[in-house]
């Protein structure tokens, strides 16, 4: 039986563009999103987690747990039917599946690719590992390279940033946290890791060649968790997202200059 840690997978893509994109600093380092109206229910599949289901449908994992009367450590089961909207006052709360059913891990999903302009260059590559403190969290860049795809709050499929790089280069946790998803259950995202930083913030890292960290691992900001690859995409790059209260936010607001 699989248990999930308390307190989380939509990932978007943007296209590369003209010269002079924002650059992630160089430093020394030792599931397809749902499109359209959200359905009323979801049947748990092998590979799902409460975090990945919430990420896919844009619902905070604690809200999803509340709607379905699921208590920490948020265990879910294959075949379990989860409510994806707030129950009405007259609706009875769904019962949890019995403890003898098999537990699971991930899910599936896939967004379209769209093109926008790259962020203007802010800083040349350096050998430092800069950090920025925001919302009580110390943030690091997830890898080195040029930002070739940008975030959009209004357009579907643009819920993170893409960073170009070389095959096998280190991908690190952007802050202290715990790995709540590690696998390739979402085909167009390739090998994916999701990290929970606190009750409000989650981050996701897609298209890796190798996943170094596994679900349940505690990680430190700047710690290597994967190696950059091209799994689930057409080029070597990292697709990176941050979620706040279950909603995508522009990662560049949190990452250091």
Final residue of a structural domain among 53, 83, 113: 83
Residue 82 sits at φ, ψ, to 5 deg, of -105, 135
CATH number of the domain that residue 211 is part of: 2.70.70.10
Which residue is associated with the tokens 């879910």?
Answer: 76
The number of domains in the chain is: 2
Model pTM? 0.65
Q: With contact defined as beta carbons under 8 Å apart, do 186 and 108 qualify? A: yes
Which DSSP string do the residues of 145-175 spell out, in sequence order?
Answer: EEEEE---SSSTT-SSEEEE--TT-EEE-SS
Final residue of a structural domain among 18, 53, 83: 83
Do both 145 and 226 map to the same domain? yes
Separation CA 34–CA 39 (nearest Å):
10
In a domain, 33, yes or no: no
In a domain, 115, yes or no: no
Read off the pLDDT of residues 41-98 as tens digits, 9 standing for 90 and up: 999 888 788 887 876 787 888 888 888 999 888 888 889 999 998 887 434 444 444 4
Final residue of a structural domain among 19, 49, 83: 83
CATH number of the domain that residue 77 is part of: 3.10.350.10
Read off the pLDDT of residues 177-215 as tens digits, 9 standing for 90 and up: 999 999 887 657 889 999 999 999 999 999 999 999 999
Range of the domain at 76: 41-83
In a domain, 48, yes or no: yes
In a domain, 225, yes or no: yes
DSSP state, 186?
A: S
Do both 249 and 169 map to the same domain? yes
What mean pLDDT do residues 168-175 have?
A: 97
In a domain, 14, yes or no: no
Do both 137 and 197 map to the same domain? yes
Do both 216 and 153 map to the same domain? yes
Do both 136 and 78 map to the same domain? no
Do both 45 and 153 map to the same domain? no
pLDDT at 28 over 90: no
Residue 36 confidence (pLDDT): 63
What mean pLDDT do residues 102-125 have?
A: 37
């Amino acid at each position: 039986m699989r248990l999930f840690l308390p307190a989380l997978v939509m990932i978007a893509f943007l296209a590369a563009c003209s010269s002079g994109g924002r650059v992630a600093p160089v430093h020394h380092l030792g599931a397809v999103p749902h499109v359209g109206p959200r359905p009323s229910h979801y049947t748990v599949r092998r590979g799902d987690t409460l975090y990945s289901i919430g990420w896919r449908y844009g619902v905070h994992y604690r809200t999803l747990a509340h709607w379905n009367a699921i208590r920490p450590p948020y265990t879910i089961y294959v075949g379990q039917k989860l409510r994806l909207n707030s129950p009405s006052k007259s609706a009875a709360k769904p019962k949890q599946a019995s403890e003898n059913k098999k537990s699971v891990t991930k899910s599936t999903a896939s967004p379209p690719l769209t093109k926008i302009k790259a962020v203007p260059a802010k800083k040349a590559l350096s050998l430092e590992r800069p950090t920025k403190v925001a919302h009580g969290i110390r943030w690091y860049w997830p890898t080195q390279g040029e930002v070739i795809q940008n975030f959009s709050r209004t357009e579907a499929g643009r819920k993170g940033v893409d960073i170009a790089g070389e095959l096998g280069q280190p991908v690190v946790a952007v802050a202290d946290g715990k790995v709540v998803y590690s696998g390739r259950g979402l085909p167009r995202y390739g090998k994916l890791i999701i990290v929970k930083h606190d009750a409000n913030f989650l981050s996701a890292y897609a298209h890796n060649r190798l996943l170094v960290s596994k679900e349940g691992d505690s990680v430190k900001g700047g710690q290597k968790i994967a190696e950059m690859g091209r799994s689930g995409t057409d080029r070597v790059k990292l697709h990176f997202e941050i979620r706040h209260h279950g909603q995508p936010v522009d990662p560049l607001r949190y990452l250091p200059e």
